[in-house]
Amino acid sequence: MNEKDLFERIQKGDEKALEVIYKKYYRMMTKMVVTNSGTEEEARDVYQDALVVFWQKASSGNLVLTSKMSTYIYSVCQNLWRKELERKKRLSNEEADASESMDLDSGEREKIIAKCLEQLGETCRKVLMYYYFDELSMQDIADKLGFANTDTAKTKKYKCKQKLDELVKAQYSERDFLD
């Protein structure tokens, strides 16, 4: 499979193609982190994050490749690792990070939303993820999930979102931590 095919599959939200890319460049990308004072675990983490960024950009149609995929992914890895190194340095410079309590809040919120998503069931979860994160077109969503047409996909998305809102609102009023 050549670059172009792979990239087109990614743009359509084909996760198998992402796995192919992941394997293909694993060594190349992790090496950059490992040779820049990272552990292998950090290297894997950075590489995976970079691929998720790449995936989101490509599937949403916001990425026009002007270079090879590997070059692009490599530069994302570099950026992420540079940021991580900066973060580490900052943490060692200032003992207490004032942002920590804020992070906890958003982490908590994310957990709750993830839980609500689980409750929605597989189809709803997928529709919403494809719609908001992958930013796939309604046609691609319909294709991937086997809906009759884009109208079905739209309706489904609308209903699923309403349900999610309700679930989250119920959680929020219970927990009372919405800022």
Residues in 22-61 at the binding interface with other proteins, rule: CB under 8 A: 22-32, 34-36, 39-41, 44, 48-53, 55-57, 60
Decide if residue 101 touches other proteins (CB under 8 A).
no
The least CB distance from residue 139 to other proteins, in Å, is 14
Decide if residue 82 touches other proteins (CB under 8 A).
yes
- Binding test (CB under 8 A) with other proteins, winner from 11, 74, 141, 142: 74
Rg (CA), the chain: 19
The phi, psi pair for 3, rounded to 5°, reads -50, -45
Decide if residue 12 touches other proteins (CB under 8 A).
no
The least CB distance from residue 174 to other proteins, in Å, is 16
Decide if residue 152 touches other proteins (CB under 8 A).
no
Decide if residue 163 touches other proteins (CB under 8 A).
no
What's the one-letter identity of residue 75?
Answer: S
The least CB distance from residue 154 to other proteins, in Å, is 10
**Cβ of 54: how many Cβ atoms within 10 Å?**
20
13 and 130 Cβ atoms separated by less than 8 Å: yes
- Of 31, 10, 176, nearest in space to 109 by CA: 176
22 and 49 Cβ atoms separated by less than 8 Å: no
The least CB distance from residue 134 to other proteins, in Å, is 7
Decide if residue 177 touches other proteins (CB under 8 A).
no
Q: Rounded distance, CA 118 to CA 110, Å?
A: 12
Decide if residue 155 touches other proteins (CB under 8 A).
no
The least CB distance from residue 10 to other proteins, in Å, is 12
28 and 70 Cβ atoms separated by less than 8 Å: yes
